[in-house]
Chain A
Amino acid sequence: MKRVIRFRLNTRLYEEEVQDEALALDWIRSTAGLKGTKEGCREGDCGACLVLMGGRAADGSTEWKGVTSCTLGMGDLDGRHIITIEGLAADGLTPVMEAMLDEGASQCGFCSPGFILALTGFLVSGVSIDPVAAMAAVEGNLCRCTGYGSIRRAAATLCADFADLPAGLAPRLALLASRKVLPPELAALMASPPEALGVAEAAFASIHPADPARVTIGGGTDYYVRNPDPEPDTAPRFSDQAPEARAIRKALVSGQAILELGAAVNTDDFFSSLLVRAMAPGIERFASDIASPPIRARATLTGNIANASPIADMTAILIALGARLVLEGDPGGERLVELPDFFLGYKKLDLHAGERIRGIVLPGEPVMFNFEKAAKRARLDIATVNSAIAVRMAADGSIAAARYAVGGVAPVPLRLKEAEALLIGKKPSAALARQLGALAYEAGSPISDVRGASRYRRRLMERLAWAHCIRLWPELRLEEELLA
């Protein structure tokens, strides 16, 4: 659908009629004529089209993320600021470009703009400027020429040169401008994104609604993979246009603390939330197991749920954390559904006509949490199988409460109540881990497909169960017994 929105591209402010559902990638290349943004896969996997996107975070502050413009709808640019390679290069080569060039990290060059934008975004928003963090920042970018050795050296050089960046966005932008990482004119504009023209709607619906022309798009990371060229009469809503829809709040319901997550909370929001981290200490270390940085910056939790993949990582995590969905009926009715019960069959949801997902509720009590996933590659992959566990311990060292989720072994994500029953009341031990592994081995009815054969999935499930026990109770040194 056509609509007038307001956004900035590099230093230029646009108030422009755009096709809501059209891809930012196409607009940048064809309408704006900026050819440095490349199309490599059109599904968010290669990072050749990566751009930096600035906008408002849930708390109203300005945030900058690297995002793949091939999974970004034009309508979602309302109130946002996009930076392409041309914007960075406006005043000449930047130190990021120089580092890539000096190390021979640009061979055919097709992936270079994406890598340079990802590394620049890392310097703008990275919490700690060190080689490990820099590596994580470009995990969403593929290069086919270099074998990555030279890119690694370039990233290490940058980390050494910029180890002393200040923490706040404004001083950091100023410093990056003075050191020519960002053209000064651009840096000055990056502190405050433009005001959106449109009015935001927060609620998230299924991506398979009755009226396909009225879809709600979260981050677009699944929607655009499935619909790379949506029909021009699509009139999507973008759930993350309302900053409050990305809020994570603590609330008291009948004396019990709970966490409320808005419909547009994305993967980054979730793992960086102090409330989430307080509830499940250490959970942030699993962020890097989920997709890649540009996808985490955009993929919403409710979108992941509505997409109904049986191997969705965030769904398994949320099931273990005891999530319930807040579903809003069209005339204002509201109901709560336990997340595992929301999945009726393969890609089939307990969502009535006209109903939308308004948010997620998590119990607020602190838990010990662990997440494990097995994929063909160690990271950044769609899981072959995954599993999440959350437990609370009693004073005597026995397990007081447990939730156990598995994905990839059934048409829907599963909560394994037998596993939970096994654990509750017992003290962790190698024998218990073995029993848990045996239960996990039998869980579901895994199929054989391109991501793994059924038997291998079972074996992996068993291994993940053991891994849970080893990680949750490191003091027991279970690995020595289990892995002998």
Chain B
Amino acid sequence: MTRTSQLGSSPERSDAPAKTSGALRYTDDRVRPGTLHAAVLYSPHAHADIGRIDCAAALAFPGVRGAFTGADWPDVLIGLYMGDKPPLARGRVRYYGEPVAVVVADDEAAALEALRLIRADFTPLPALGSPREALAPGAPILHPDLGSYRRIAAILPEPGSNVANRSRIRKGDADAALASSPVVVEGEFSFPPGDHAAMEPRVAIAEFGLDGRLTVGSSTQSPFGVRTLLSKALGLPERDIEVIAAPVGGGFGGKAGIQLEPLACLLAMRFPGRPVRLANTREADMVSSPGRPGLQSRVRVGATREGMIQAMDMELLFDSGAYADYAVNVSRAAAVACTGPYNVPNVKADTLCVYTNHPFATAFRGFGHIELSYATERALDLLAARLGMDPLELRLKNAARPGHTTPTGATLDPNTGDLPACIARVRERLDWDAGRRAVLPDGRIRAKGIACFWKAPAIPTFTDAAATLSFAEDGSAVLATGVVELGQGSFDGLRLIVAEALGMDLAMVRVLRDADTDRSPHDWTTAASRSLFMAGRAALEAVADAVAQIKRVASAPLRCPEEDLEVSGGRVFLRDDPEQGLPLSTVVLGYVYPNGNAIGGPVIGRGRYIARGLSGMDPDTGEGRPGLEWTMGAEGVEVELDPRDGGFRVTKAACAMDVGRLIHPALARGQVVGAMGMGIGYATREAFVFDSRQGVQNGSLRDYKLLRYGEEPEYFADFVETPQGDGPYGARGLGEQGIIGMPGAIAQAASLAAGVELNELPLTPEHLWRAMREARS
């Protein structure tokens, strides 16, 4: 009974019918009658002392149940890796859009009406608009209590300064290698912070039951993480907290930390027995809830005349905004991978997470790797120009290969992807060798750019996943995990893995969707492109466990040793005589003999996974093994620039990625193409615009421009398959990576077209026009 593998086929997404028909219920579609509604007053200042807040008139408004300020919870601090953020500002506001007060009312309209009646006095303070400003001597210290915040050990804040975390890499002797390098280039590269702009605004609906249990439905990527953090912030034990994650309408990292849940829960605890809904408007979602960090960086690269990189010396300053939250680990992740996927024997890097008075930053697709990649790729472009070398050849020459070491000194093992093969695919797709720059008949300039990327998940050393596999009367299997559906489609990948391992028809396998901390097996977080890998490993173990149980039960009626049995095609049978067997439906809930005697009972497969062999980083040198598996790839673009007014578009975008093993090609392509599209937006238009007092001027979709239909380029997504030895069927993570190289590739192409090095993002037409004009004069 040989079966053909289902891996590598692209069956229809199992949730697509519910999504396309509008039947799928996201968190905010689950509001129950009797729910109270919260409305938040946001700070109009980026930095100010809070004077008196008068809620009396709001409290008197019909339908209002309560009005609260930071003073109501004087001790609560929240944050993922470092607890530095009050649920409502206390004493001072640190960013434009920071929640200052909240009204709870019977309906949303009353809450909004009453909100207008709150009088809040502010005394504006000087606002810090960039990491360099925040690090300058005499800069106001935004968190005087930095030394006393709860944090994990891997985070190294510097109390008395605005440095929320500093990670150091000291590999080899970068100073000496730079001094002896015949060619040294240096550049500064930067961009402002921005937003995830997932289509679903964040929402949390919390209820404090009369039994003392807290239940919160949230648009979160991290139900278990939220449970832990709520427990810490609210002083409730985990057993009294249930977090339910319905399918999420796009996350991109923005829903991976803790966000609206603590305030929603604190409010719910004031109104036991009634759910309280706290929902973001689009504006609040963009400005008040966390976005992505900005960057200021400086990179020096030393190389031989032949273009072999000898050393990198870099400083990456992450603009974390007012609170460090998740961003302290973003800057740390950037240190782990700081050189990009190149063999660099000597590295000196400081990556800092810096407080400013911007909206605070959290995880964003790529998790520090867009930032480091943009900085290193731009520096490599300067090096290529200095050497007169093709930028693709320079990258090929220095591509990281098995046996090389990462910046933290970990050796790349044979599981490492094949970067040269990826570069070769992009070279073909863009017809690279036909020339990188051409002037079109109408005067526009067409140019190409390339960048490489790598990424390992930035995760705790003990990151886990778990799965259970149970069965129904018809012999079909149901996998339960703690993974959250965000659009990435992990469930369909897991479904294929289970079907493959059970040798079962896909139609006979289901994966449960809502993640619920009371019911789902524990799972660290749906982030870091890890679900397919880790939950996939757990699912395989659950299958193996279930199969062993099935064999044990079936061995009795089949009168044979368990080891002679095989499970496939919905049956358990003798390997050497497949006709002798039983349908699974007669075994999975226990076998019943003709006389009524029964044995076995329901089969439940258990599967667990925990990251293998990870260690922290040495605080002085960064040495360690923090990266589990490295996904590598190359990306290239073709752009067209109108030199007369800066008009600019990306016409082609190609990505080649070594994914180990393609499980579900259509889903993989969807992730890679979506990430490329997002990367184009990131590089060409998306960023907050601040006024002189650091207020956000474009906190709405009218003025914060996302890529629209018709603006997308022609996409090419190619896959290289060098199996990941410890991945499920050789697969490794791929959800984020497609975004990482885009800003670097686009900046390279645009710089070539414009004839001037473009070292700041976003590359808007006006920015390009101005840079070209300045270069001419």
A positions within 8 Å CB-CB of B: 34-43, 45-46, 48, 84-86, 88-89, 93, 97-98, 100-102, 104, 106-113, 116, 135-136, 138-139, 141-152, 225, 228-229, 231-232, 374, 376-382, 384, 449-453, 456, 459-460, 463, 479, 483-484
B715 CB–A CB distance under 8 Å: yes
Q: Of residues 690 to 728 in B, which have CB atoms within 8 Å of A's CB atoms?
A: 697-698, 700-703, 705-712, 715
- A104-B667, A147-B674, A451-B703 known; A35 and B22 CB under 8 Å? yes
Partner of A109, one of B19, B251, B252, B712: B19
Chain A minimum-CB-distance residue to B111: A229
Partner of B16, one of A106, A151, A225, A483: A106
B676 CB–A CB distance under 8 Å: yes
Chain A minimum-CB-distance residue to B691: A450
Chain A minimum-CB-distance residue to B26: A110
What 6 A-B pairs have minimum CB-CB distances, sorted nearest first?
A36-B22, A147-B677, A108-B487, A109-B19, A110-B249, A85-B22
Selected A-B contacts with CB under 8 Å, 23 pairs:
A40-B201, A43-B700, A43-B701, A45-B701, A46-B199, A89-B22, A89-B23, A100-B16, A101-B12, A104-B669, A107-B250, A107-B488, A108-B248, A113-B22, A144-B198, A145-B487, A147-B675, A147-B676, A148-B708, A229-B109, A379-B708, A452-B766, A453-B770
Contact assessment for A104 and B201 in the assembled complex, using a CB-CB cutoff below 8 Å: no
Whole-angstrom CA separation of A100 from B16 in the bound complex: 9
Chain A minimum-CB-distance residue to B664: A104
Contact assessment for B697 and A108 in the assembled complex, using a CB-CB cutoff below 8 Å: no
Chain A minimum-CB-distance residue to B690: A450
Whole-angstrom CA separation of A247 from B108 in the bound complex: 39
Whole-angstrom CA separation of A380 from B710 in the bound complex: 11
Partner of A147, one of B12, B249, B667, B707: B707
Closest-CB distance, A475 to chain B (whole angstroms): 17
Whole-angstrom CA separation of A37 from B197 in the bound complex: 18
Residues of A within 8 Å of B766, CB to CB, are 376, 384, 452-453, 456
- A138-B709, A450-B698 known; A106 and B703 CB under 8 Å? no
Contact assessment for A41 and B674 in the assembled complex, using a CB-CB cutoff below 8 Å: no
Number of A-B contacts defined by CB within 8 Å: 215
Residues of B within 8 Å of A145, CB to CB, are 199, 250, 487, 670, 674
Chain A minimum-CB-distance residue to B25: A35
B88 CB–A CB distance under 8 Å: no
Closest-CB distance, B553 to chain A (whole angstroms): 39
B175 CB–A CB distance under 8 Å: no
Contact assessment for B21 and A36 in the assembled complex, using a CB-CB cutoff below 8 Å: yes
Chain A minimum-CB-distance residue to B488: A107
Q: Of residues 1 to 36 in B, which have CB atoms within 8 Å of A's CB atoms?
A: 10, 12-13, 15-26, 28-29
Contact assessment for A40 and B689 in the assembled complex, using a CB-CB cutoff below 8 Å: no
Whole-angstrom CA separation of A84 from B673 in the bound complex: 29
Contact assessment for B708 and A142 in the assembled complex, using a CB-CB cutoff below 8 Å: yes
- A93-B17, A93-B20, A104-B670 known; A144 and B705 CB under 8 Å? no
Partner of A456, one of B669, B702, B770: B770
**A interface majority secondary structure:** loop
Partner of A111, one of B112, B199, B689: B199
Residues of B within 8 Å of A146, CB to CB, are 670, 673-674, 677
- A380-B708, A460-B645, A479-B442 known; A101 and B673 CB under 8 Å? no
Contact assessment for B669 and A109 in the assembled complex, using a CB-CB cutoff below 8 Å: no
Whole-angstrom CA separation of A89 from B632 in the bound complex: 42
Residues of B within 8 Å of A104, CB to CB, are 10, 13, 666-667, 669-670
Residues of A within 8 Å of B487, CB to CB, are 107-110, 145
Residues of A within 8 Å of B109, CB to CB, are 229, 232
Whole-angstrom CA separation of A185 from B67 in the bound complex: 49
Closest-CB distance, A32 to chain B (whole angstroms): 13
- A102-B12, A104-B669, A148-B712 known; A109 and B20 CB under 8 Å? yes
Whole-angstrom CA separation of A353 from B235 in the bound complex: 61
Whole-angstrom CA separation of A149 from B673 in the bound complex: 7
Contact assessment for A143 and B249 in the assembled complex, using a CB-CB cutoff below 8 Å: no
B64 CB–A CB distance under 8 Å: no
B282 CB–A CB distance under 8 Å: yes
B200 CB–A CB distance under 8 Å: yes
B194 CB–A CB distance under 8 Å: no
B443 CB–A CB distance under 8 Å: yes
B486 CB–A CB distance under 8 Å: yes
Residues of B within 8 Å of A110, CB to CB, are 26, 198-200, 249-250, 487
Partner of A35, one of B29, B197, B199, B765: B29
Residues of A within 8 Å of B644, CB to CB, are 463, 483
What sequence of 0s and 1s flags, for each residue 519-532 of chain B, a beta carbon within 8 Å of any chain A beta carbon?
Answer: 00000000000000
Whole-angstrom CA separation of A378 from B705 in the bound complex: 11
B290 CB–A CB distance under 8 Å: no
Whole-angstrom CA separation of A256 from B259 in the bound complex: 65
Contact assessment for A379 and B710 in the assembled complex, using a CB-CB cutoff below 8 Å: yes
B489 CB–A CB distance under 8 Å: yes
Chain B minimum-CB-distance residue to A147: B677
Whole-angstrom CA separation of A35 from B486 in the bound complex: 18
Closest-CB distance, A89 to chain B (whole angstroms): 4
Contact assessment for A483 and B443 in the assembled complex, using a CB-CB cutoff below 8 Å: yes
Contact assessment for A38 and B200 in the assembled complex, using a CB-CB cutoff below 8 Å: yes
Partner of B199, one of A88, A108, A138: A108
Contact assessment for B20 and A116 in the assembled complex, using a CB-CB cutoff below 8 Å: yes
Contact assessment for B252 and A144 in the assembled complex, using a CB-CB cutoff below 8 Å: yes
Residues of B within 8 Å of A463, CB to CB, are 644-645
- A106-B19, A374-B645 known; A142 and B712 CB under 8 Å? no
Contact assessment for A109 and B703 in the assembled complex, using a CB-CB cutoff below 8 Å: no
Partner of A144, one of B22, B250, B698, B703: B250
B113 CB–A CB distance under 8 Å: yes
Contact assessment for A147 and B247 in the assembled complex, using a CB-CB cutoff below 8 Å: no
B764 CB–A CB distance under 8 Å: yes
Whole-angstrom CA separation of A231 from B61 in the bound complex: 14
Contact assessment for A377 and B20 in the assembled complex, using a CB-CB cutoff below 8 Å: no
Contact assessment for A43 and B16 in the assembled complex, using a CB-CB cutoff below 8 Å: no
Whole-angstrom CA separation of A483 from B598 in the bound complex: 88
B685 CB–A CB distance under 8 Å: yes
Partner of B702, one of A45, A113, A384: A45
Partner of A42, one of B199, B282, B715: B282
Whole-angstrom CA separation of A194 from B703 in the bound complex: 38
Contact assessment for B112 and A147 in the assembled complex, using a CB-CB cutoff below 8 Å: no
Beyond A108-B198, A451-B703, 5 additional contacts (C-beta under 8 Å) are A100-B16, A110-B487, A146-B673, A146-B674, A378-B649
Contact assessment for A106 and B769 in the assembled complex, using a CB-CB cutoff below 8 Å: no
Contact assessment for A144 and B706 in the assembled complex, using a CB-CB cutoff below 8 Å: yes
Contact assessment for B22 and A377 in the assembled complex, using a CB-CB cutoff below 8 Å: no
Whole-angstrom CA separation of A368 from B20 in the bound complex: 45
Contact assessment for B701 and A97 in the assembled complex, using a CB-CB cutoff below 8 Å: no
Whole-angstrom CA separation of A354 from B427 in the bound complex: 68
Whole-angstrom CA separation of A288 from B592 in the bound complex: 69
Whole-angstrom CA separation of A86 from B673 in the bound complex: 29
Partner of A148, one of B15, B199, B645, B709: B709
Instruction: Name which of A98, A112, A151 has the most chain B CB atoms within 10 A of its CB.
Output: A112
Whole-angstrom CA separation of A137 from B17 in the bound complex: 23
Whole-angstrom CA separation of A244 from B743 in the bound complex: 52
Contact assessment for B16 and A152 in the assembled complex, using a CB-CB cutoff below 8 Å: no
B344 CB–A CB distance under 8 Å: no
Chain A minimum-CB-distance residue to B670: A104
Residues of B within 8 Å of A479, CB to CB, are 442
Contact assessment for A43 and B282 in the assembled complex, using a CB-CB cutoff below 8 Å: yes
B281 CB–A CB distance under 8 Å: yes
Instruction: Name which of A34, A102, A377 has the most chain B CB atoms within 10 A of its CB.
Output: A377
Whole-angstrom CA separation of A484 from B443 in the bound complex: 7
Residues of A within 8 Å of B680, CB to CB, are 147
Contact assessment for B649 and A376 in the assembled complex, using a CB-CB cutoff below 8 Å: no
Contact assessment for B13 and A106 in the assembled complex, using a CB-CB cutoff below 8 Å: yes
Partner of A376, one of B29, B251, B700, B705: B705
Contact assessment for B26 and A450 in the assembled complex, using a CB-CB cutoff below 8 Å: no
B678 CB–A CB distance under 8 Å: yes
Whole-angstrom CA separation of A86 from B247 in the bound complex: 19
Residues of B within 8 Å of A36, CB to CB, are 21-23
Partner of A135, one of B23, B251, B649, B709: B709
